Structure formats: structure tokens, C-alpha cells
Amino acid sequence: EEVQMVCLESRGEMPAFSEEIEEAEQEGVIVKNSWGPKRILQEGERVRGVELVRCNSVFDKEGRFNPSFDESKKMQLEVDNIIVAIGEEADPSSLGLAGGLMAEGGMIVTDQTGATSLPGIFAGGDIASPIHNIAQAIGSGKRGAVAIDCYLRKRNPADVISRIRVGGNGAISMIKYLHPEARARAPYVVAFSDLNTQYFEYSDRVRKIRLLPFERRQGFEEVAFGITEEMAMREAGRCFSCGVCNECGNCYIFCPDISILKGARGLEHKVNYDYCKGCGICFVECPRYALSLEVEQR
């Protein structure tokens, strides 16, 4: 027995996580990229094959789903069964809302806060975004919760969300919203390249326990068993705590001008600018990028 999966997309365009594709191939699935079904081949009422045509591109210049095919390149597959799996999309019309709800391409149109064209109606998740994953859905839920709260309190949600953003990709901080009096975070999001990894021992990620490929083919048992509490703690211990001072003392130790003033335990260190000459050694030796170096305005 053999399972072949035909998809329009190239390997890099497939709407699936790479590890899922690799697991399917480990289980014996043969993936045929950049091919599309032309017609079903039959003998009487029995399916005997499928004719495929080469797919040159899946999306047009505007990013819309509009496959382009090369009719000169075809192939046939002999099959016993065909399972059609063309994906899914939301159907806004099934919501039964009053007229005026703007929808486009199977999605409800919203602004950055999740507000729709109808006052007091908000949308998020798969029905309002072309990106379908858990992180996107959770993020839209957070933004929607803040926007709804602002709407009920007669506040401007767009203004509030702009003040609680973290980084430049749309993420927001619920802590900043619920506790605006808390110390403000720096707007910069620390990148891996900002860290001084010389101060960290390499630690491999925790691998989830999974069934072996031949075991996964035997039935429909759960293939991933998750992780134990011990494994979760070990994985959490790999966190760099980016941008957070852990009082390692490097800045104090390496400063050639002794211009770092150590605070009491739990309090931030301070810089005595009467002695600091801006050499940047403290900045370079900080493991977690808890220090930033800026050009002095004159």
C-alpha cells in the first residue's frame, strides 16, 4: 500500500509546518509538489487514476489564490482511492448578522483592533486573518479583549493598543494594559544576535516523546505524548531572560572607571555619568542585553 499526496504548492509554500511534512514522509507518504489535478480517470463507475498538470505558481502578483498551470507537462497516477482535501475557509454568511458586515475573500474585514464594520461587533482568529495558527489566534483574542473593554468604557481602542504594543509585529502586553502604573518596558525587542552567548552553556532543546514511524502507521493513537513536569522545567531553564538584569555583576566588574553604582539586591544598577566615558564595555559584556548604548545628543 502506498499513499501519495499531491499539492499545488512547492515544498516551501506548503501551508503546513515543516516538522509535520517530515513526519508524514517518515510514515511513508510520498509528497508530489507543484502538481494539480486535471481530471479523474474512471473505468465505468470505478476510479482508476488521476491526471495531474504542472503548477507554475499558486498566487498572483497581488497575493491572491490564482493557480497558473503548464498544460504541456502532465502525468498520471494509478490509484485505488482519492481523498479530496482542499482545505477549509470561514463562511461569514452563516453568522446571521445584520447587513453591513464587510467580508472579503471568506474573511470578515476588521481594523487593527478587531473591530468590524458594525459597531460593537469584533472578530478575530481564522475568520479575520489569512494566517491560521494558534499564536495568531491568541494574539487576536488579546487585542479583541482590550478593544471590547475600551469600547464598553468609551475609550479609544486604537490609541490604547498603540501604547501597549511590544515590538513591531503587533504583539501587545496585557500587563501594561491592566497595570499602566508598572515600570514601562523598553520598546526594543531583544534579538538573539544581541546576546553575549559566551556566558551561556549550550543546552539542547527538550525533545517530545513520540511514537516511532512504523508504530504511527498501525492506527490512530496519539503520536506525541507531550512532556513531563521535569522536562518542562528543564526546557524553561533554557530561557535567556532577554533584556532582564539578573545582577550578574559583569558591568560592575568590567567597568574601567568604576562608574557603575550597584543597587541593593533587587534594585537596578545605575551609571555615574560624571565618570562614565561611554567606552561601552559594560554593554558588550552584559549577557542578556539589559543595557543599551545610545549616541549622546549634543
Is position 159 within any domain? yes
Is position 267 within any domain? no
What's the rounded mean pLDDT across residues 66-71? Answer: 94
Q: Is the pLDDT of residue 285 over 90?
A: yes
Give the predicted TM-score (pTM) of the model: 0.59
What is the residue range of 119's domain?
100-178
Q: Is the pLDDT of residue 17 over 90?
A: no
Q: pLDDT tier at 264 (50, 70, 90 boundaries)? A: low
Query: Based on the number of CB atoms within 10 Å of its own CB, is 132 exposed (0-12), middle (13-18) or buried (19 or more)?
Result: middle
Is position 216 within any domain? yes
Residue type, 214: F
Instruction: Please indicate, yes or no, whether residues 122 and 172 belong to a single structural domain of this protein.
Output: yes
CA distance 273 to 296: 11
- What pLDDT, on a 0 to 100 scale, did the predictor assign at position 129? 86
Q: Which residues pair with 68 in a beta bridge?
A: 57
The larger pLDDT score, comparing residue 61 to residue 55, is at: 55
Nearest 5°: phi and psi at 33? -85, 155
What's the rounded mean pLDDT across residues 39-51? Answer: 93
- What pLDDT, on a 0 to 100 scale, did the predictor assign at position 133? 82
| DSSP secondary structure code for residue 32 in this structure | E
- What pLDDT, on a 0 to 100 scale, did the predictor assign at position 266? 58
Q: pLDDT tier at 101 (50, 70, 90 boundaries)? A: confident
Instruction: Please indicate, yes or no, whether residues 120 and 64 belong to a single structural domain of this protein.
Output: no
- What pLDDT, on a 0 to 100 scale, did the predictor assign at position 60? 85
Is position 90 within any domain? no
Is position 39 within any domain? yes
Q: Grid coordinates in use for 106? A: 471568506
- Report pLDDT digits (tens) over 172-215: 888 889 988 776 666 678 999 999 999 999 999 998 888 999 89
Select, from the ranges 131-135, 247-251, 261-265, the one with the highest average predicted confidence (pLDDT).
247-251
Is position 30 within any domain? yes
- What pLDDT, on a 0 to 100 scale, did the predictor assign at position 124? 92
CA distance 170 to 4: 39
Is position 94 within any domain? no
- Report pLDDT digits (tens) over 220-233: 888 888 889 999 99
- 27-66 as b/e, with b when 16 or more CB fall inside 10 Å? beeeeebbbbeeeeeeeeeeeebbebbebeebeeeeeeee
Q: What is the CATH number of the domain that holds 172?
A: 3.50.50.60
Last residue of a domain, one of 78, 110, 128: 78
The chain-wide mean pLDDT, for the chain, equals 88
Name the nearest CA neighbour of 155 among 118, 109, 115, 182.
Answer: 115
Instruction: Please indicate, yes or no, whether residues 172 and 209 belong to a single structural domain of this protein.
Output: no
Instruction: Please indicate, yes or no, whether residues 116 and 174 belong to a single structural domain of this protein.
Output: yes
CA angle 124, 130, 110 (to 5 degrees): 40
What's the rounded mean pLDDT across residues 38-53? Answer: 93
Instruction: Please indicate, yes or no, whether residues 27 and 60 belong to a single structural domain of this protein.
Output: yes
The residue assigned the cell 532582564 is: 244
Q: Is the pLDDT of residue 51 over 90?
A: yes
Is position 160 within any domain? yes
Q: pLDDT tier at 87 (50, 70, 90 boundaries)? A: confident
Instruction: Please indicate, yes or no, whether residues 113 and 153 belong to a single structural domain of this protein.
Output: yes
- What pLDDT, on a 0 to 100 scale, did the predictor assign at position 199? 95
Instruction: Please indicate, yes or no, whether residues 113 and 167 belong to a single structural domain of this protein.
Output: yes
Q: Is the pLDDT of residue 98 over 60?
A: no
Instruction: Please indicate, yes or no, whether residues 74 and 104 belong to a single structural domain of this protein.
Output: no
- What pLDDT, on a 0 to 100 scale, did the predictor assign at position 150? 95
Q: pLDDT tier at 109 (50, 70, 90 boundaries)? A: confident
| DSSP secondary structure code for residue 178 in this structure | H
- Number of structural domains in the chain: 3
Instruction: Please indicate, yes or no, whether residues 43 and 110 belong to a single structural domain of this protein.
Output: no
- What pLDDT, on a 0 to 100 scale, did the predictor assign at position 97? 58
Instruction: Please indicate, yes or no, whether residues 52 and 108 belong to a single structural domain of this protein.
Output: no
